[in-house]
């Protein structure tokens, strides 16, 4: 059976960043003027200094959990509660918020996390792979 395509290929890729090859990389950016590392990549201008020389920067997807919350009520039709979301401080600098795959065992601040791909469906019901954070093995 073929591997489903990624749900958001502009934000991550299946292959890892250099040095952390076994976890999906996040597609971030870096400002040539001030060195600010950000996620996701955008070309409008640097949020810190306004610089326009923004280059892609692969982020490893490894980091420490800052906070997590089990969501019991959700109005959106694309997602069924309960699920867990978390804020992760990436080792590369940015803080990202994402879904956490935890089987209902919500992780605690400080725990090491990393990226993984999980099956999902897109708005039309087609199978896709989406990015999650999981406890680092």
Partner 1 sequence: MTATLADLRPVYVAGIGFHRYQFLSDTPYVDLGLTAVRAALADAGLAWLAVESAYFAKALLPMAPGRAMLRHLGASGLPIVHVENASASGSAAFRHACIEVAAGIADISLVVGVDKPMPVGRAESLARIGSLADDAIAPFTHFALLADAYAHRTGATVEDIALVAVKNHLNGSKNPLAQHQKVRSLDEILGGKKIAGAFTSLQCTPVGEGAAAVIVASEEGLRRHGIGLDRAVRVASSAGRSQRVYDDATRYDAMLTQETAAIALAEARVSPGELDVVELHDAFTVEEVEYVEAMGLCPDGQAVPRLKDGEFAIGGRCAVSPSGGLIAMGHPIGPTGVGQIAEVTRQLRGEAGDRQQPNARTGLAHMVGVGAVCYVHVLQAP
Tell me the site size for partner 1, rule CB under 8 A.
37
Q: Does 4 bind partner 1 (CB under 8 A)?
A: no
Residue closer to partner 1 by CB (options 4, 106) is: 106
What binding mask, one character per residue, do residues 31-70 give for partner 1 by CB under 8 A, x or -?
-----x---x-x-x--xx-----------------xxxxx
Q: How far apart are CA 88 and CA 133, in angstroms?
A: 8
Judged by CB under 8 A, which of 97, 118, 126, 136 binds partner 1? Answer: 97
Q: How far apart are CA 103 and CA 121, in angstroms?
A: 19
Q: Could you tell me which stretch among 17-25, 51-59, 73-81 binds partner 1 (CB under 8 A)?
A: 73-81
Using CB under 8 A as the binding rule, the residues of this chain from 109 to 128 that contact partner 1 are: 109-110
**What is the DSSP secondary-structure string of 89-121?**
EETTS-EEEEEE--TT----TT-EEEEEEEEEE
Residue closer to partner 1 by CB (options 1, 36) is: 36
Q: How far apart are CA 61 and CA 58, in angstroms?
A: 9
SS3 label, residue 86: strand
| Torsional class of 133: left (φ above 0), alpha (ψ -120 to 50), beta (otherwise) | beta
Residues within the interface to partner 1 (CB under 8 A): 8, 10-12, 36, 40, 42, 44, 47-48, 66-76, 78-79, 83, 85-87, 94-99, 108-110, 131
């Amino acid at each position: 059976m073929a591997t489903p395509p990624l749900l958001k290929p502009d934000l991550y890729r299946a292959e890892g960043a250099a040095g952390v090859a076994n976890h999906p990389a996040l597609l971030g950016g870096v400002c040539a003027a001030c060195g600010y590392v950000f996620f996701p990549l955008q070309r409008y201008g640097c949020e810190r200094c306004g610089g326009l020389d923004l280059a892609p920067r692969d982020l490893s997807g490894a980091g420490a959990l800052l906070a997590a919350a089990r969501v019991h009520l959700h109005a959106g039709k694309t997602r069924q509660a309960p699920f867990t979301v978390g804020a992760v401080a990436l080792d590369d600098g940015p803080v990202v918020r994402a879904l956490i795959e935890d089987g209902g065992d919500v992780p605690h601040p400080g725990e090491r996390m990393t990226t993984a791909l999980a099956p999902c469906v897109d708005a039309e019901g087609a199978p896709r792979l989406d990015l999650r954070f999981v406890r680092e093995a």
